[in-house]
Amino acid sequence: MELRSSGRTGAVAPAVALLMVLLLAPVLGADGADAARKKGYKAPATTASLDVKIRGSVRQVYVEDADPGSRVLLVNPKGRVIRKARTDSFGSKVFREVRPGFGYRVIQRKPGEVPGPGGDIFAGTRKVRSLKPGDNPPQPYYRKQAELKEGLNYVTMRDGVKLAMTVRLPLGKDIDDGPFPTVIEHSGYGTAAPGDLLTSLFGGSDPLAPDSATIIGSALAPLLGYASVSMQMRGSGCSGGAYDLFGLPTTYDGYDAVETVAAQDWSKGKVGLVGISYSGISQMFAAGTRPPHLGAIAPMSITTDIYNGTGYPGGIFNSGFALSWVSERVRDAQPAPEGGQPWAREMIENRGDTQCLENQKLRLQTLDVFRMIEDNPNRTPLVFNQRAPGNWMKRIQVPVFLTGQYQDEQTGGNFPTALPNLDGNRDVWVSMQNGVHSDSISPGTITRWIEFMDIFIARQVPEIPALFVGPGSPFSALLGERSDPIEQSEYVGLPDVAAAEKTFRRDNSRVSLLMDNGAGPSGPGGLGATWELDYDSWPPKNVRPRTWYLGDGGSLNPKKPDRRSIERYTADPAARPSTNLAGGGVNAAQPDYDWAPVADGKGLGFTTGRLATDTVIAGGSSLTAWLKSSAPDTDLQVTLSEVRPDGKETYVQTGWLRASHRKLRRNGRDPLNIVPTHLKRDQRSLPSGRFAKVRVPIFPVTHAFRAGSKIRVTIMAPGGDRSEWEFRTIDDGTADNTITIGGNRPSSLTLPVLKGATALGNPLPVAGALRGQPTREYEAASNGG
Q: How far apart are CA 516 and CA 501, in angstroms?
A: 29
The two most distant CA atoms of the chain are separated, in Å, by: 94
The separation between the first and the last C-alpha atoms of the chain, rounded to the nearest angstrom, is 38
Read off the pLDDT of residues 637-670 as tens digits, 9 standing for 90 and up: 999 999 999 999 999 999 999 999 999 999 999 9
**Contact call for residues 182 and 228 (beta carbons, < 8 A):** yes
- Residue 769, pLDDT > 70, answer yes
Mean pLDDT of 218-239: 97
Q: How far apart are CA 739 and CA 341, in angstroms?
A: 50
- Residue 33, pLDDT > 50, answer no
- Which secondary-structure segment (H or E) carries 391? helix 389-393
Q: Look at 4-13, 182-191, 582-591 and tell me which has the smallest mean pLDDT.
A: 4-13
Mean pLDDT of 732-747: 97
Residue type, 67: D
Residue type, 266: W
DSSP 3-state of 297: strand
Please name which of 11, 7, 6 lies closest in space to residue 437, comparing C-alpha atoms: 11
Q: How far apart are CA 216 and CA 457, in angstroms?
A: 15
Percent of the chain with pLDDT over 70: 94
Is the C-alpha dihedral spanning 699, 317, 624, 602 positive or negative?
positive
List of residues 6+ apart from 732 with CB closer than 8 A: 573
Confidence (pLDDT) at 611: 98
Q: Look at 18-32, 83-97, 377-391, 641-655 and tell me which has the smallest mean pLDDT.
A: 18-32
Confidence (pLDDT) at 384: 86
DSSP 3-state of 106: strand
Banded pLDDT at 501 (limits 50, 70, 90): very high
What are the beta bridge partners of residue 543? 754
Q: How far apart are CA 188 and CA 277, in angstroms?
A: 11
Residue type, 430: V
Residue 610: CB atoms within 10 A of its CB come to 11
Banded pLDDT at 18 (limits 50, 70, 90): very low
Model pTM score? 0.94
List of residues 6+ apart from 52 with CB closer than 8 A: 63, 64, 65, 66, 91, 106, 125
Residue 531: CB atoms within 10 A of its CB come to 15
Q: Which residues of 718-754 are buried (b: 16+ CB within 10 A; e: fewer)?
A: bbbbbbbbbbbbbbeeebebebbbbeebbbbbbbbbb
- Which secondary-structure segment (H or E) carries 139? helix 139-143
Banded pLDDT at 118 (limits 50, 70, 90): low
Mean pLDDT of 222-239: 97
List of residues 6+ apart from 569 with CB closer than 8 A: 601, 602, 603, 604, 715, 716, 736, 737, 782, 783
Helix 278-288 with 248-262: angle, nearest 10 deg = 80
- Residues across the chain: 785
Please name which of 291, 479, 405 lies closest in space to residue 13, comparing C-alpha atoms: 405
Q: How far is residue 599 from each of residues 401, 536, 573, 604, measured CA to CA in Å? A: 42, 42, 10, 9
Confidence (pLDDT) at 13: 40
Confidence (pLDDT) at 31: 52
Confidence (pLDDT) at 29: 41
Banded pLDDT at 36 (limits 50, 70, 90): very low
Read off the pLDDT of residues 262-282 as tens digits, 9 standing for 90 and up: 999 999 999 999 999 999 999
Mean pLDDT of 10-38: 40
Banded pLDDT at 16 (limits 50, 70, 90): very low
Tell me the pLDDT of the chain averaged across its residues: 93
